[in-house]
Structure 1
Amino acid sequence: MNPSTDDDPSHRTGRLTAAEEEPLTALADIEAWKARKHYPSTLFAGGPVFGAAHERPDGGWELHPYFAGLAPQDARDGLAAHLRLLARSATDRGDDGAAAEYLAAAGRLDREPLDAIRVGAERFRVVRAERFIRMGPDGPEPPRRSDPDAGAGHRGSGDLHASDDPAAGLVIHPAEATQDGAAGVLRVELLAALRKKGTVPREVHEDSRLAAGSHPGGVLLPATFMAAEREGGRWRPHSTGTAATPGDARDGLALHLRVMVPWQQDLTVAEREVYKRAADRLDEQHCDELAVAGRHFRIVRVERLVRVGPEGPEGPRPSDADPVPPPLAHDPAAPDEDDSPPPEPDERTRRFLALFEEERTRRTRL
């Protein structure tokens, strides 16, 4: 890690608080120390995630809901939507000038890939978090008993939307630190974890090295969760995204078993029934391990670290994948949009839609 040239060390740590802050329970800290023993290794869990934040008048940066974008543009789109909500609130209180400023800023985000924007005296930015998992002899760490989880009535029922984001409303204070105990030790470990040369493209390694110098501090966000499968002695995630709670991750795995597996593998009715029973077991038992048809699945705990520098939390890096442009970005070379109706879906697509609709109907009836 490259040392900072700034003489003021205050930005080397970060404080994480919430609007209604709750102290860490003794159980959570005990479990965190146990995790260090049983899952001693920490590995990168795919690519980073992105969210939006605004600077508070009293200091620090408050995170917006749904800190789960897989590319910076996902966070920009969310920020544009947030600004439009602020415009609506300004209109409701009769402040048409503020409403116009918010709408103008949202319009810029629709056209330009901006990672920071100011509206009057308010500052907003896109924030980057690196993801990690703990590994042990038996594989990746599952959820802990102290991890907040959706109620039993949520699992396998209701709509297909995720739970509330546990990071929403948390405030990153660059100049203070309150993450102690096992969380503080983990934070220091993850800050030292850089993308190794030769394991990633050169620009990714170089950006990782530069970030250690420009944003030497950091804070841990609440953990998120994903489903993983063991194949040939190795574990691989089922998707690039993560869920807010273990229950949401189980719901995603159940959806995979009821919809994606039958569609991808063109299963017969009898073969589908095996996976449907496994998904039912997942819903009923709320388990974090599941074996079905010779396959082994696990719900995995994912840590998130936001690097922090003198000016606040780190934003996107030049090497971060950002494949989709802003929704209204205009490419002069692009042809005009085709107004003709979309083609009829083929048989395979119709089968997928039927499976998904069957699952949606099942959940709404519970």
Structure 2
Amino acid sequence: MDDDALYRDLADLSDPVRAVAAQDALRAHRAYPLMVLAGPMFGVAEETPHGWQIISLGEATPQCSRDDLANHLRRLGPSEEYQEAARVLDWERHDEMTVAGRRFRVVRVEQVLRMNETEPEPPRPTDLDPRSAYDHPMELLPAFPRSEPRSLLSTQFTAALSRPGFLSDEALNDAHRAAATHPFLFPMRPAFSVAEYLHDGWRAATAACPTPTHARNSLADYLLNVLPVLEHPDPETAAAYARAAHLLTGARLDELEVQGRRFRIVRLEKVARLGPDGPELPRPSDFDPDPPVEILALQLKAEGLLEE
């Protein structure tokens, strides 16, 4: 795809702000042309007349989002329908429920890293990055669009999936099935996390955060409070970690080297798959080891790890 076609695919030319962001994205696509699927995150959404309203997002497993849905239902009020549905989720796995005429779903969102041959993409200049707390409305996933799937994302997803050894056979089959049942790729707001360079490449060190500042604060906390507990460093090393943490947040750095360790704030694109019936649910091959909370409690009691 040439630059003009890529720009048209990214931009809404009638919106100056989006046009600037599209130019920023075009530069990023040139500098970091390789798409790497970083695994899914999960959340809860409710169907509305305007689309699927995200209620929560960012869990590592479907079961965590089922638990989130149960808690959300409890908070909706004392209605017996809501409370009973929450109790069902305490005992059973359900990725979709209709309660009091309202339709809820556990949704799957892909996380994407962009890389070049040596490093992952850092935050972009146009990414929202307030210094203070970031309280934003949750996103709305549209009803299944009638337009064709976005060609650029579709092409890059296909290339990412085709890399040998990236996915197990089961996961690859699920991915191809999802491309047919949920063909439209919807870009969401980016997230940000911390990666550390190890001997064989970059590895994620924190969960996804809503802004680069949140990710920097997470790394600073890791340097100040976590590494001293895990590694029991000597006073000189601990002091170096503390200086690095303060420099990181004060100067709003996106990369940091301290005591021979290299960290980077990395940009995670979030992409939802949509089909005729709405956003994609969890796949059979997704990592989902935990049972519902009441089943887990019974197991822990039987093992003597939880008191009656």
CA, structure 1 residues 78+340, in 2 after alignment: closer, same or farther (shift >3 Å)?
closer
**Would you say how many aligned residue pairs link Structure 1 and Structure 2?**
292
Residues in 1 aligned to 2:198 and 2:297: alpha-carbon distance in whole angstroms:
43
Aligned to 2:235: 269
Shift of 1:164: 3.9
List per-residue Cα deviations over 1:294-346 (Å, max 9, x = no partner).
121110000111111111110000011111111112687762756669xxxxx
Identity %: 37
Aligned to 1:174: 144
| Bigger-Rg structure (1/2) | 1
CA, structure 1 residues 249+330, in 2 after alignment: closer, same or farther (shift >3 Å)?
closer
Match of 2:52 among 37, 57, 61: 61
Amino acid corresponding to residue 268 of structure 2 in structure 1:
V
Please state if 1:32 is matched with 2:25.
yes
Amino acid corresponding to residue 231 of structure 1 in structure 2:
L
Unpaired runs of 5+ residues, structure 1, are: 1-21, 92-98, 155-162, 342-366
Aligned to 1:157: none
Unpaired runs of 5+ residues, structure 2, are: 1-14
Q: Of Structure 1 and Structure 2, which has the larger fraction of its residues in strand? A: 2
RMSD: 2.6
Residues in 2 aligned to 1:260 and 1:118: alpha-carbon distance in whole angstroms:
42
TM-score, normalised to structure 1's length?
Answer: 0.73
Amino acid corresponding to residue 279 of structure 1 in structure 2:
A
Shift of 1:217: 1.4
Aligned to 1:150: 130
Please state if 1:296 is matched with 2:262.
yes
Amino acid corresponding to residue 129 of structure 1 in structure 2:
V
Residues in 2 aligned to 1:23 and 1:188: alpha-carbon distance in whole angstroms:
25
Please state if 1:77 is matched with 2:67.
yes
Residues 93-242 of structure 1: pairs in structure 2 closer than 5 A: 99-151=79-131, 153=132, 163-164=134-135, 168-176=138-146, 184=150, 186-192=152-158, 193-194=160-161, 196=163, 198-232=165-199, 234-239=201-206, 241-242=207-208
Match of 2:42 among 44, 47, 50: 50
Alignment check: 8 A CA contact 2:174 2:284 kept:
yes
Residues in 2 aligned to 1:307 and 1:72: alpha-carbon distance in whole angstroms:
16
Shift of 1:165: 6.1
List per-residue Cα deviations over 1:67-116 (Å, max 9, x = no partner).
101000111111111111212xxx5xxxxxxx111111111111111100
Amino acid corresponding to residue 286 of structure 1 in structure 2:
R
Residues in 1 aligned to 2:305 and 2:222: alpha-carbon distance in whole angstroms:
34
Bigger relative contact order, structure 1 or 2 (CA pairs below 8 A, ≥6 apart) = 1
Shift of 1:177: 5.4
Shift of 1:190: 4.3
Residues in 2 aligned to 1:265 and 1:29: alpha-carbon distance in whole angstroms:
43
TM-score, normalised to structure 2's length?
Answer: 0.86
Shift of 1:35: 0.7
Amino acid corresponding to residue 180 of structure 2 in structure 1:
G
CA, structure 1 residues 338+227, in 2 after alignment: closer, same or farther (shift >3 Å)?
closer
Residues in 1 aligned to 2:151 and 2:209: alpha-carbon distance in whole angstroms:
24
Residues in 2 aligned to 1:270 and 1:331: alpha-carbon distance in whole angstroms:
44
Residues in 1 aligned to 2:272 and 2:307: alpha-carbon distance in whole angstroms:
45
SS of aligned partner of 2:188: strand
Alignment check: 8 A CA contact 1:225 1:244 kept:
yes
Residues in 1 aligned to 2:243 and 2:62: alpha-carbon distance in whole angstroms:
38
Residues in 1 aligned to 2:297 and 2:241: alpha-carbon distance in whole angstroms:
45
CA, structure 1 residues 111+301, in 2 after alignment: closer, same or farther (shift >3 Å)?
same
CA, structure 1 residues 212+335, in 2 after alignment: closer, same or farther (shift >3 Å)?
same
Shift of 1:216: 1.4
